[in-house]
Structure 1
Amino acid sequence: MPEQDDAEREFDLKWADNAERKEPSARARMLAARWKENPPEPQPFRADPDPAGPRRSSWISTVIVLGSVAAIILLLGYANFRAPY
């Protein structure tokens, strides 16, 4: 089979993209057939399958992060203070 040059290949792609009717994918056909007999139940947009438990306050997370940073700063300062010069 001879190689197509870029102009012919581009023409073929444009011709295919401009087709009046496009066949749906196999998955789309399968879902359409399944939903015809047994339609899915309505779901909210981006529904969470299993909601998490109660959330902690954002203040608790902030205190934990800032406390950890302060502890690391103090630990590094103490290590530099004890280091021999």
Structure 2
Amino acid sequence: MQERHEHDDQEREFDLRWADDAEHKEPSARARMLAARWKENPPGPVPFRAEPDHVARRQRRSGWVSTAIVLGCVAGVIVLLGYINFRTY
């Protein structure tokens, strides 16, 4: 029985090597679906980066909000430590 199991493993390994070494590899189902869809209706060009005004507007607003939150937290910690230090004396 052990001999049969080893024989099956060797055949399976051979099949995997044969499949990996194949010259032509079939595309995945998603790749085939997209190729068929794009053949009839090709996608339009997509920019690599987002629109500059959209990014600038979002960064400007979130930058100020983030800065205010960080400075507020730092000020809160300083006040808290000062209060604790004042109470201990």
Pair in the same fold by TM > 0.5: yes
User: Which amino acid is 2:28 matched to?
Assistant: S
Q: Which structure: greater helix fraction?
A: 2
Q: 2:45 aligns with which of 42, 56, 72?
A: 42
RMSD value, Cα: 3.1
Q: 1:79 aligns with which of 64, 71, 84?
A: 84
1:68 equivalenced with 2:73 (yes/no): yes
Q: 2:21 aligns with which of 4, 18, 21?
A: 18
TM-score (norm 1): 0.64
**Unmatched segments (≥5 aa) in structure 2:** none
User: Among the aligned pairs, what percent are the same residue?
Assistant: 71
TM-score (norm 2): 0.62
Give the distance between the partners of 2:25 and 2:77, measured in 1 at CA: 62
Give the distance between the partners of 1:80 and 1:36, measured in 2 at CA: 72
Change (3 A) 1:44 1:15: same
Give the distance between the partners of 2:42 and 2:35, measured in 1 at CA: 9
- Structure 1 window deviating more from structure 2 (18-27 vs 39-48): it is 39-48
Q: How many pairs are equivalent?
A: 80
